[in-house]
Amino acid sequence: MVSGSKSASSRAPIRLGMVGGGKGAFIGAVHRIAARLDGEYALVAGALSSDAKRSLDSGIELGLSPDRCYRSFRDMAEIEAAREDGIEAVSIVTPNHMHYPAAKAFLEAGIHVICDKPLTATLDDAKKLATLARKSDHLFVLTHNYTGYPMIRQARDMVARGRLGAVRLVQVEYVQDWLTEAEESSGNKQAEWRTDPEQSGAGGCVGDIGTHAWNLATFVSGLETESLAADLDTFVDGRRLDDNVHVMLRFKPEGSNKPAKGLLWSSQVAPGNENNLKLRVFGDKGGLEWQQEDPNKLWFTPFGKPKQLLTRGGASTGAAAARVTRVPPGHPEGYLEGFANIYAEAARAIRALRKAGGKVPKDVLFPTVQDGLDGMRFIDACVRSSAKDAAWTKF
């Protein structure tokens, strides 16, 4: 049984808190924009920095009441849980190593959790958090934001409906260039924590954007990974974590079909690439191609027929894409809207749970703690495989 949240009218904004995301933090600002885009949330509290003064200054700058700018996330969880007007959900946007303790504190306080990816810094912490989340009466939402794009929902629906036939091949890449030089030595805070194993975990590029690529491939294809062979490289001298990743994937067989195969390339040292995320899925009846930098277009090629361009909001898209589409065709939707779609899906679920005994609507779709745990298994398997000279490794 899922318990209801604190008393609130069905349409009142969801009271949201945030851990991390203070002054100068990139992803915290993205989450705040996403949360307010549809008017579903009101940010009312925060532990925005591990530094008490910075947390207070950041909160006041965002319009929070000083008494709800907390010195630590533990104080925030305890005090907000006791307030009649306390937060209903918390957004966790810290470096990876703080995801587990923060999420644990809020789940145990009876507060819904919306957490940035990857789930945690270590597989052991991921397993513990998954166990805790499954036992909790409250939601755990993981913000793999690319799953929120309308044309990704369209692609997933087409695969599920058999438009591609039996899936044979999946190719995905997520390529950047911002770490081509030792950016972590120049005072760039984002680079510092992402290349620090104490904060990021065992994976660098593979944990930062490789997990996005792998999650997107499995989200659209519906396939489960059976084993992989990974080659992780560190090209920049002195860097402590990987900055380039090549992975071969073997997926579990489905029915009588031959098991599908996959290729994943993730890099942060490829000059000329900004956020070049691409996905291609091929079956025995057709193929799909999508690129994040042109997200409102999906190319579909039925075997033996001309390539077809499907557009967001266009005549050939269906209900799966339409439900997460905001504006008319030809008006671009992108990164922020994809993020906002995850928050909107979470809001539908939270509103349903405001009633005692309420249930999450069946059509709500967002990444869960299980997706986060699988992502950590992917990172772990890649690291273990690479340490054994790219040996095939069970997932």
Kindly report, residue by residue over 146-177, the tens digit of the pLDDT: 999 999 999 999 999 999 999 999 999 999 99
Who's near 256: CB < 8 A, 6+ residues apart? none
| Mean pLDDT of all residues in 246-267 | 95
Tokens matching residue 248: 């071969």
* Bridge partner residues of 229 (DSSP): 248
Report pLDDT for 8: 60
Who's near 213: CB < 8 A, 6+ residues apart? 172, 173, 174, 264, 265, 266, 277
Please give the radius of gyration of the chain, using alpha carbons only, rounded to the nearest integer: 21
Burial letters for 224-239: b for 16+ Cβ neighbours within 10 Å, e otherwise? ebebbbbebebebeeb
Q: Are strands 112-115 and 140-142 parallel, antiparallel or unpaired?
A: parallel
Report pLDDT for 257: 84
The span from the first CA to the last CA of the chain, in angstroms, equals 32
Report pLDDT for 2: 41
Tokens matching residue 296: 């409102």
Alpha carbon of 73 to those of 53, 79, 142, 195: distances in Å? Answer: 14, 10, 18, 24
| Mean pLDDT of all residues in 32-57 | 96
Task: Tell me the domains of the chain and their CATH numbers.
Answer: 14-146+339-364 (3.40.50.720), 150-327+375-394 (3.30.360.10)
Who's near 12: CB < 8 A, 6+ residues apart? none
The residue among 246, 214, 212, 249 whose CA lies nearest residue 228 is: 249
Report pLDDT for 135: 96
Burial letters for 268-300: b for 16+ Cβ neighbours within 10 Å, e otherwise? bbbeebeebbbbbbbbeebbbbbbbeebbebbb
Burial environment of residue 157 by CB neighbours within 10 A (0 to 12, 13 to 18, 19 or more) = middle
* Bridge partner residues of 233 (DSSP): 244
Report pLDDT for 9: 63
Euclidean distance between CA atoms 199 and 185, whole angstroms: 16
Give the 3-state secondary structure of residue 226.
strand
Element (H, E) at 245: strand 244-251
Report pLDDT for 25: 86
Give the 3-state secondary structure of residue 166.
coil
Tokens matching residue 255: 């029915």
Which amino acid appears at position 301 of this protein?
A: T
Euclidean distance between CA atoms 378 and 392, whole angstroms: 13
Euclidean distance between CA atoms 68 and 82, whole angstroms: 13
Euclidean distance between CA atoms 112 and 89, whole angstroms: 4
Euclidean distance between CA atoms 237 and 248, whole angstroms: 26
Position 1 confidence tier, pLDDT thresholds 50, 70, 90: very low
Kindly report, residue by residue over 200-217, the tens digit of the pLDDT: 999 999 999 999 999 999
Whole-prediction pTM = 0.94
Euclidean distance between CA atoms 63 and 218, whole angstroms: 40
Kindly report, residue by residue over 323-377, the tens digit of the pLDDT: 999 999 999 999 999 999 999 999 999 999 998 888 999 999 999 999 999 999 9
Kindly report, residue by residue over 119-150, the tens digit of the pLDDT: 999 999 999 999 999 999 999 999 999 999 99
Alpha carbon of 350 to those of 86, 87, 112, 190, 358: distances in Å? Answer: 14, 12, 8, 31, 9
Burial environment of residue 323 by CB neighbours within 10 A (0 to 12, 13 to 18, 19 or more) = middle
Residue 181 has pLDDT above 60, yes or no: yes
DSSP string, 298-352: EEEEETTS--EEEETTSTT--HHHHTT--S-TTS---HHHHHHHHHHHHHHHHHH
Handedness of CA 327, 11, 90, 214 (dihedral sign): negative
